[in-house]
């Protein structure tokens, strides 16, 4: 089990779990005349993030039709197949969605509808294959985007790996951003290892980050649970690090 340290927690909050409160959405979106795009800009998050929180709080959108009318010409540019095709050459779905002020899902629907990409085309696979060509042996240490200057132990390398962030994200998503003990939704949440990370490393005799990345037990989301900070502190093994 581990507690996210402040830097990871902050980075994590910035890139993945931007906390938005119910009242914020009600005041800025529901009770106003703003579109979801405008509201998300005011809140300071992406439309996708706003949508996700609305789903969690069960807040309904003000209606797709009205939204499309409001977005007017800017939004209807998605009807321009040639334009969209050109965007796809250099931009991700997310980039295009943000530019137009809609969701990634909408872009993906259009792309499918216009047949601009084969059915099984996956952006993440596309990115991965590009990275693989560039770094055939993976990006660890200095090449990795999270390189901290060589001070990192194996334990920290694992915790700071992209794989670990994905693992945490999957756990948070599955638990619907809810503390599994007290039921707190949103706020400062952490992902607790039911079986200690250090123990898994020891039992599997993991010596390198590469070995860690291939260890299935380490990335089993059934071993993770979402807890708020105060519940996390109540776990028996809290901050009992063996490294």
- 162-221: contacts with Zn ion (CB under 5 A): 179, 181-182, 184
- Give the nearest distance from C-beta 218 to Zn ion in angstroms: 25
In whole angstroms, what is the distance from residue 240 CA to residue 243 CA? 9
Structure-block tokens of residue 230 = 């105060």
Among residues 78 and 228, whose Cβ is nearest to Zn ion? 228
Among residues 35 and 184, whose Cβ is nearest to Zn ion? 184
Task: Please report, for residues 37, 50, 101, 184, the alpha-carbon distance to residue 62 in angstroms, rounded to integers and kept in the order given.
Answer: 12, 13, 15, 27
In whole angstroms, what is the distance from residue 44 CA to residue 64 CA? 21
8 Å CB contact between 31 and 23: no
Considering the rule CB under 5 A, would residue 231 count as an interface residue with Zn ion? yes
CB atoms within 10 A of CB 133: 8
- Give the nearest distance from C-beta 192 to Zn ion in angstroms: 10
- 81-140: contacts with Zn ion (CB under 5 A): none
Among residues 2 and 93, whose Cβ is nearest to Zn ion? 2
Q: State the number of binding residues for Zn ion (CB under 5 A).
A: 6
Considering the rule CB under 5 A, would residue 54 count as an interface residue with Zn ion? no
Among residues 25 and 228, whose Cβ is nearest to Zn ion? 228
R_g of the chain computed on alpha carbons: 21
| Binding interface with Zn ion (CB under 5 A) | 179, 181-182, 184, 228, 231
């Amino acid at each position: 089990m581990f507690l996210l340290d402040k830097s990871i927690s902050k980075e994590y909050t910035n890139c993945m779990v931007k906390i938005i409160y119910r009242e914020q959405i009600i005041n800025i979106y529901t009770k106003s005349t703003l579109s979801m795009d405008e509201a998300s800009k005011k809140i300071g998050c992406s439309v996708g993030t706003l949508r996700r929180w609305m789903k969690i709080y069960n807040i309904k959108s003000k209606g797709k039709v009205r939204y499309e009318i409001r977005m007017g010409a800017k939004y209807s540019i998605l009807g321009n197949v040639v334009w969209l095709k050109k965007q796809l050459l250099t931009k991700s779905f997310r980039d295009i969605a943000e530019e137009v002020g809609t969701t990634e899902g909408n872009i993906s629907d259009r792309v499918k509808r216009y047949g601009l990409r084969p059915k099984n085309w996956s952006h993440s696979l596309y990115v991965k294959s590009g990275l693989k060509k560039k770094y055939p042996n993976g990006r660890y240490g200095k090449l990795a985007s999270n390189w901290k200057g060589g001070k990192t132990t194996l334990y920290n390398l694992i915790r700071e790996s992209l794989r670990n962030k994905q693992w945490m994200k999957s756990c948070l998503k599955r638990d619907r951003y809810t503390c599994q003990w007290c039921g707190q939704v949103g706020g400062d949440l952490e992902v607790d290892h039911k079986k200690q990370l250090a123990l898994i490393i020891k039992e599997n005799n993991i010596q390198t980050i590469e070995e860690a990345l291939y260890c299935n037990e380490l990335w089993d989301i059934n071993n993770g649970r979402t807890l708020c900070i105060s519940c996390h502190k109540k776990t028996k093994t809290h901050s009992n690090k063996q490294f």
